[in-house]
């Protein structure tokens, strides 16, 4: 099996995500081995998520709400740029759902006044989860079957949040 990994700069916006999808299409067209694609959050997104979560812990609603709006706008624009015909509304719905999950996490962090390692892990993972959906849609738009699979469905780790290791057994 071949694993293709694309970092945040490679998927920084809709055009770059489409470029990655074309690379994946070219690899799929070559045939042969099965492959998986691993994707990072869009450039700067993980930092923005963490900054907003820290702002929530410090009861700074202005930074939190600004970040939520910016993240939604950026991912909405990317979704509109990469969506295959007939999938735009479903993809936008997935983006809204994940942004809402982020907002809910930050609300809980704000109520507690504390950002725990577990909460930080949950917040930090949202960027990759968003990117995976955007890239899968872009790959489908290129005519290649693709679906986003979250790592939680593939990898089991120990409970050391912030420094977890995979359990290989």
The CATH number of the domain where 61 resides is what?
A: 3.40.1160.10
Q: For residues 86-97, give the mean pLDDT.
A: 96
pLDDT of residue 85: 83
Work out how many domains the chain is built from and give that number: 1
**160 in a structural domain:** no
pLDDT of residue 29: 84
CB neighbourhood size of 46 (10 A) = 18
**165 in a structural domain:** no
**Mean confidence (pLDDT) of the chain:** 92
Give 164's pLDDT tier (boundaries 50, 70, 90). low
**146 in a structural domain:** yes
Give me the domain span that covers residue 16: 2-153
Q: What is the pLDDT of residues 131-162, one digit of tens each?
A: 999 999 999 999 999 999 987 766 666 677 66
Instruction: Tell me the chain's radius of gyration from C-alpha atoms.
Output: 17
Q: Packing angle between helix 61-82 and helix 14-30, nearest 10 degrees?
A: 40
Q: What is the pTM of this model?
A: 0.91
**21 in a structural domain:** yes
**159 in a structural domain:** no
pLDDT of residue 143: 94
**18 in a structural domain:** yes
pLDDT of residue 49: 98
Give 33's pLDDT tier (boundaries 50, 70, 90). confident
**113 in a structural domain:** yes
Q: For residues 84-88, give the mean pLDDT.
A: 90
Q: What angle do CA 33, 154, 50 make, to 5 degrees?
A: 115
Q: What is the DSSP letter of 157?
A: B
**82 in a structural domain:** yes
């Amino acid at each position: 099996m071949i694993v293709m990994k694309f970092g945040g700069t490679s998927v920084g916006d809709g055009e770059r995500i489409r470029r990655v999808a074309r690379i994946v299409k070219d690899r799929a067209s070559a045939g042969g081995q099965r492959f998986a694609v691993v994707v990072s959050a869009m450039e700067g997104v993980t930092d923005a998520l963490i900054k907003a979560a820290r702002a929530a812990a410090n009861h700074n609603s202005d930074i939190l709400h600004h970040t939520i709006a910016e993240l939604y706008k950026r991912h909405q624009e990317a979704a509109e740029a990469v969506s295959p015909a007939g999938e735009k509304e479903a993809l936008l719905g997935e983006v809204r759902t994940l942004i809402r999950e982020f907002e809910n996490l930050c609300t809980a962090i704000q109520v507690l006044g504390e950002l725990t390692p577990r909460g930080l892990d949950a917040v930090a993972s949202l960027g990759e989860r968003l990117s995976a959906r955007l890239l899968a849609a872009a790959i489908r738009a290129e005519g290649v079957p693709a679906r986003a699979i979250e790592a939680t469905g593939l990898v089991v780790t120990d409970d050391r949040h912030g420094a977890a290791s995979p359990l290989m057994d």
